[in-house]
Amino acid sequence: MQMMLQKIVNASEQGMLKPEGFFDSLRSPAAQFGRDAARGTTKQATRLADLGLLGEYLDDLPYRSSIMDLTQEAWASWGPERQIELIRSLQRKVKQYGRYNDDWESWVNLAQTADGAGDSVYPVPLDDMP
């Protein structure tokens, strides 16, 4: 999730200079890292949720993301202050996810297997979700 959110941060920073290219800069990572490579490349993908970048982390949760409904039009209509506010919020979350990743003692092994490989999760507070 940290890597996907960093890609959104990078695209949004570039999108401040060229707001109309914000979504286009996210289509390549969506195709490369999303569950469905074709999902993010279609022009029907008009919201961040449509690109599929964070869907594998958020789709099955009883949680409503604050950024998943962001559209190209909304981004372009925001002034620089609001865009910067979103970027800074996402940057804080990226740093927090790095701290979670490093906090190996707090990871929970759901399968309770000896090695826990691939079965461990971190209890991320809802306030820290993107």
Task: Work out the end-to-end distance of the chain between its first and last CA atoms, rounded to an integer number of angstroms.
Answer: 9
The pLDDT of 112-129, averaged and rounded, is 78
Domain that includes residue 34, residue range: 2-128
Digit-coded pLDDT (tens) for 53-109: 676 677 777 777 777 788 888 888 988 899 899 889 999 999 999 999 999 899 998
Residue 4 — pLDDT band, cuts 50, 70, 90?
confident
At 94 the pLDDT is: 93
- Least Cα distance to 45 among 22, 64, 61 occurs for 22
Domain count, the chain: 1
3-state secondary structure 24-77: HHHHHHHHHHCCCCCHHHCCCCCEHHHHCCCHHHHCCCCCCCCCCCCEHHHHHH
Digit-coded pLDDT (tens) for 24-49: 777 766 655 555 555 445 566 667 77
> Looking at the whole model, is its pTM more than 0.75?
no
